[in-house]
Amino acid sequence: MKKMSRRDFVKGATSVGALAAFGLGYGPVIARSLNPTVGSETPPDPVVGPEGYLYTSCLQCNTGCGIKVKVVDGEAVKIEGNPYTPFNRFPHIDYATTPAEAVNEFGALCPKGQAGLQTAYDPYRLRKVLKRAGPRGSNRWVAIPFAQAIREIADGGTLFASVPGEETRVVPGLKELRAMRDPQTMKDIGADAKNVQKGTMTITLEKPISLRTLASARHSSAKPAR
């Protein structure tokens, strides 16, 4: 029996792999990858001046990154990261940099943020506030003004009085979820926060002790014993 060389083995394995790929239906894909590119080239992005960019915030998630949006003929065509914010560029460009000087400066932006164009121009995007107008799961809705939605969300009440079975159901508003309602308590908390910033906040234990002293003691106790 003839001994197979390494080169013969690689050639045979390659041939078997190619036959398997074509047999599984990948032949057209492989053929297209080997052929030169066909079709027309994608036109380059239009060049705009500083007046062609809007600086704003991304709402694709709750991070709220800064974005720089290219606008052509009144339509947003590209979303980039805002070079002025450390969220998207570190170190960010100097705030004294004018928009004209920053026309070719950009920051990083995730794919979800760049896909904001699809959200903005989605033909099925909801443009009005929809309120449930029937039992849950009935898929019945009614459009209400934005101001009404804010008021109902904040104040609560019998928001679904027109829905059978929910005439008297009271929906709590966000105002009822506040933990602190006493104005004096809020003032005291604000004053304590300022003391924390200054490092002069004290805690009443057996005797008053400053947070700076407490932090120093904690740091000393955290050192390993020698």
pLDDT, tens digit only, all 226 positions of the chain: 556 676 766 666 666 566 555 555 555 655 555 565 556 666 666 778 889 999 999 999 999 999 999 999 999 999 999 999 999 999 999 999 999 999 999 999 999 999 999 999 999 888 899 999 999 999 999 999 999 999 999 999 999 999 999 999 999 999 887 767 788 888 888 899 999 888 888 776 666 666 666 566 655 555 555 4
Structural domains of the chain, with CATH? 50-120 (2.20.25.90), 129-176 (no CATH), 183-221 (no CATH)
Q: Provide the H-helix boundaries in 94-160.
A: 111-114, 116-120, 146-155
Nearby residues of 209 by Cβ (< 8 Å), 6 or more positions away: 202, 203
DSSP per position, 211-223? HHHHHHHHHHHTS
- For 29, 61, 126, 145, 151, the CA distances from 130, given in Å and listed in that order, are 46, 21, 8, 9, 14
Spatial contact of 147 and 128, defined as CB atoms under 8 Å apart = no
